[in-house]
Amino acid sequence: MDKICVIPGDGVGPEVMEACLEVLDATGVRLEYVRARAGLACYERCGSYLPEETLEAARESRACLLGAVQSPSDLRGYRSPIVELRKALELYANLRPFRCYTGRCLRDLDIVLVRENTEGLYSGIERVEEDRAVTERVVTRKATERIVRFAFEYALKYNRGRVTCLHKANVLESDRFFREIFFRVAEGYRVEAGEELVDAAALHLITDPGRFDVLVTANLYGDILSDELAGLTGGLGFAPSASIGEEHAVFEPVHGAAPDIAGKGAANPAAMILSGAMMLDHLGYAEERERIEQAVEETCRAGVLTRDAGGRCGTEEFAAEVVRNLG
Ligand code: ATP
C-alpha cells in the first residue's frame, strides 16, 4: 500500500483535504495516510512552520497531499512552508493543468503549464542596500534542461502535440539562455516546439488560447500566468497542481488558505480533489484520475457548485456528489 503524507494545513486546507480523501477512498485505491502538520497554526502551537517530523514523513512517503498553508509576509522568522518543502524535497517541476469543468468559464481551454520551480527570480539571492534592492535572476543549464525535458516527456506521455516556451529573450540575456536550451532539448523529441514572448502570451491566452497546449516557462512568469489561467477556467477553486522531483512529489491546490471563508464549509474542494487525482495518476492509477475528473465535470455541469462558482452548495455536499458520480 502506498504511503501518503497528508498535510491539511491552515484555513480551508483541512476542509478541502477531508473532501479530497473521501473521493480518493471512493475510487477503491488503497492508500496509507500519514498525517503531518505545517503552516501558521502549527507555528503558533509548536514554534515551527515545517517541523522536522513532517519533513521526515514527507521523505518517507511516495507522495504528499497538501491542503493550504497561510504565509503572513510580516511575521519574522516565518518562511513559506511550501517553498521550504519544495526545496527540501527538490521538487523542480511545477505542473498545473487548466481546463473548464463547469462549461461556464471565460474560456474553454485545455492547457498545461510547466513551471521551473527552483531558480529564476525566486533564486533567493537578494540584497537590500541603502538606495536600492537587488534580486539575482539565476538560470542554470542544469535546471533549464531538466524542466524542458520534463515538459516534452509530459507531452509525449499525454499525447499533447505542442510545447511552447514562454520567455522574454528579446530583453533578457538569461531568457536567451533559457530559449536556446529549450530548442536544443526539443531536437530530441517528436513533438512540435514553439515559442512566444511571455507578454504576448498573456494576451493570447485570452484572445486565442487554442494556439497553446503545453507551456514551459520560468518561475515568476509561471506564477503569474497560472492565476490568469485559473481566472479563465472558473477561478482558483478549480486549479490543481503538482510539484514533482526525481524522488518526491507534492500535490496541492493552486489556491491559498482563503482565511476569509475558512471554517464555514463553503470552500470549493474541486482543486484539492483534482490534485488528489493527479497524485493517483503519478502513483500509476491513470484510470482513477480520469474517473475523478469526469465525476467532477459531471457534478459541475449538473449545477452542483460552490458559491465561488455561482452555486449554493457547501464543501461536503460537493464532495458527496462527486463520490456519487464516481459510480
Ligand atoms: P494566501 O496568502 O494563503 O495565498 P489569499 O487569501 O491571499 O491567501 P487565496 O487563499 O488563494 O489567497 O484566496 C484568494 C481568494 O480566493 C479569496 O477571496 C478566497 O476566498 C478565494 N478562494 C481561494 N480558494 C478558494 C476555494 N477553494 N473556494 C472558494 N474560494 C476560494
Whether the predicted pLDDT of 77 surpasses 80: no
Residue 2 in 3-state DSSP?
strand
Which cell is 138 given?
539565476
- The alpha carbon of 252 and the centre of ligand 1 are apart by a number of angstroms equal to 13
What gap in Å lies between CA 317 and CA 308, rounded to an integer?
A: 14
- Ligand 1 close to Cβ of residue 12 (< 6 A): yes
What gap in Å lies between CA 296 and CA 289, rounded to an integer?
A: 11
Report if pTM > 0.85.
yes
Packed helices 286-301 and 270-282: angle between N→C axes, nearest 10 degrees: 160
- The full set of domains in the chain, from first to last, is 1-93+246-327 (3.40.718.10), 106-232 (3.40.718.10)
Stated as kind and residue range, the H or E segment containing 65 is strand 63-68
Looking at residue 246, its pLDDT comes to: 94
**Cβ within 8 Å of residue 125, ≥6 positions away:** 135, 136, 138
- The alpha carbon of 226 and the centre of ligand 1 are apart by a number of angstroms equal to 14
- Ligand 1 close to Cβ of residue 260 (< 6 A): yes
Model confidence pLDDT, tens digit, residues 217-271 = 999 999 999 999 999 999 999 999 999 999 999 999 999 999 999 999 999 999 9
Model confidence pLDDT, tens digit, residues 82-99 = 888 998 999 999 999 999
Which cell is 181 given?
536550451
Residues 121 and 133: beta-carbon distance below 8 Å: no
What b/e string do you get for 179-201 counting C-beta neighbours within 10 Å, with b at 16 or more? bebbeebbeebebebbbbbbeeb
Looking at residue 43, its pLDDT comes to: 92
- The alpha carbon of 260 and the centre of ligand 1 are apart by a number of angstroms equal to 8
Model confidence pLDDT, tens digit, residues 289-315 = 999 999 999 999 999 999 999 999 999
